[in-house]
Amino acid sequence: MLPDYFEFSLPTRAIYGIGVIDQLRDAVGPWGRRRALLVTDAVLVKAGLAERVRAGLGATAIEIAAVYDQVPPNSTIRTVEDCAALGREFGCDLVIGLGGGSVLDTAKVANLLMVKGGRVQDHMGAYLLGDTRLLPLFLIPTTAGTGSEVTKVAVIADPDHDVKLPFAETQFLPDLAILDPELTRSMPPKLTAATGMDALTHAIEAYVDKEWSPAADGLALQAIRLIRANLLLACAQPDHLPARGAMLAASCLAGIAFSHSMVGMVHGISHALGGVYHIPHGLANALVLPEVMAYNLESRLDRFATIAEALGVAFPRPGAALGNLLRYGGLGFAAPLTKPLGAVDRWFRRQAAKAGIVYIRNLNRQLAQLTGMPLNLRDAGVQDGLAKLEQVVETAMSDGAMLYNPREPEREAVACIVRTLYQARPTPLPVTAADLQPAGMMMTARETRDVFPDADTLYRVLGGFFERLKADPQIGGPLKASRLCVQFAFDPPAAVMTIDARGDEVKIYRGAEFAGQPEVTMRMSGDFAHAFWHGRINLVSALTRRQVVAKGNVPKTLKLLPILKPAYALYPQYLAETGLADKIIR
């Protein structure tokens, strides 16, 4: 069954890759010459990430004209207004956000002020911009949790009134989201845990909320699976870039999901705890999530059972299993006999849904063991004995997220949850080796820099290697039989090499020696070619990422890949034999 109505759109272009921040020329090319306002924080500037972005834009027409680096962990009205004023002062016509959720939300609302003017409070609300166009917006997350790089919402703190101001505008959806796991490497384990639980909350609430939709469902469930497999590993091994990347992807998927389905009671309470007690948002979500799951359980029992499955909690369904065995095993006439077992299946589904809540509680305890993440509100910073409980409840009940919760939120339920989280005394739970399931091997390697300083060096090294391929008994024959003519146009360094197998023998040409017409021309950097011949590059993926630009009969050329596979072992040997062992990628 589908909902009566739903919408789904993906206006943001998202690019993902380890080191992709260094390869922005093609991604940002459509925006031409721009003066950018870079919005970030002082920590990221000190860590060198702001300079990394500037360097990544160095070969483009985009100039960083101004940097606002004073965004606090919870951005405020004053922060946004100061940021927008700086952008206007320097005549910026592009906004780039580099940081966590607070920075990205600041970039969104500052963009609005740069175009519309006025005070932040004048624009609070939902879909007030109409057809107004904002400045182009690029968002680069350095945490894996908020998903703000692909959402149309922002939250800004009003410290004078202990509340957080919500904004929702379609124009907040950025033009470009840049997901580079290397930029999340410096995130401390405790922040990794909190932001990861933020992403998990987004996915779970998107899946069970009133505004669920089939497209958002798929994204939410995949985000849950990725988080289950990688969050503990990312906390335990901060330099494990595949795990970091999986968490970044999960955050993005969950962000797209909840941008369509919205969030619910977890966020309503967390926003209140953040506004009144300044509890960090991700941590508040982590603590509140299992309590609200228990509150909502009966209203979405089957969906919570499916969430449990995505979390790896497997319970049998004997009725369905036996029915399928009979139905598809040639005994379909007996399948109706399994109908009474449906009650057993429903009982197991209920147990699975409950077990999913236990899983979340235990995950919090494991994160506490790995990172020191607080497990109750006292340790999170509430030191007044909950003297502001009524203010928290009132703030939560008036939060817009409550409208989307699958079960009507009740004041006493909110108060009970907050009291429970204050009084709770769970203990950290040890993490076993089995809990740290590897996310998989890295699929590509970072390109070695400046292997060929000039064209002569490239001609000498790769030209000699191509001659070696031609003479190799395992490669030369199939290469000749391919009858292909492939030209490689390198830059940097500027050089051209052509392999022509259309005649009686395979010929290797350097530069202008070749005067014919190749079947395919492949443009790439010399460093990329060096990594490719090590077998470290997926050529099909590289075409998608524009690391290689191909013109001509590309499918025919790709048939060369199986022929060239033995060359991946031959290339390092060739480098060693020619005195270039220091260039081998280990």
Domain ranges of the chain: 13-186, 267-435, 455-583
Count of beta carbons in the 10 Å neighbourhood of residue 383: 10
Least-confidence region, from 80-84, 185-189, 243-247, 320-324: 320-324
What is the reported pLDDT for 560?
75
Instruction: Give pLDDT tens digits for 337-383.
Output: 778 888 888 999 999 999 999 999 999 999 999 999 999 999 999 99
Looking at the domain covering 267-435, what would its CATH class be?
A: mainly alpha
pLDDT above 70: residue 439: no
Closest among 115, 103, 113 to 73, alpha carbons compared: 103
pLDDT above 50: residue 89: yes
pLDDT (mean) for 555-576:
86
pLDDT (mean) for 495-516:
94
Pairing of strands 163-168, 125-126: parallel
Distance CA 586, CA 580 (A): 13
Owner of token pair 């995505």? 310
Taking 3-state DSSP, the helix, strand and coil percentages for the chain, each rounded to the nearest 5, stand at 55, 15, 30
pLDDT above 60: residue 106: yes
Q: Which residues of 452-463 are buried (b: 16+ CB within 10 A; e: fewer)?
A: beebeebbebbb
267-435: same fold as 13-186?
A: no
pLDDT above 90: residue 258: yes
**Which one has a higher pLDDT value, 322 or 359?**
359
- Residues 425 and 365: beta-carbon distance below 8 Å: no
- Non-local (6+) Cβ contacts of 2 within 8 A are 213, 214
Query: In this structure, which topology does domain 455-583 adopt according to CATH?
Result: Nonspecific Lipid-transfer Protein; Chain A (3.30.1050)
CATH no. of 13-186? 3.40.50.1970
pLDDT above 50: residue 440: no
- Share the mean pLDDT of the chain: 93
pLDDT above 60: residue 447: no
pLDDT above 50: residue 128: yes
Owner of token pair 């927008």? 84
Least-confidence region, from 279-283, 308-312, 322-326: 322-326
pLDDT above 70: residue 446: no
- 3-state class (DSSP) for residue 33: coil
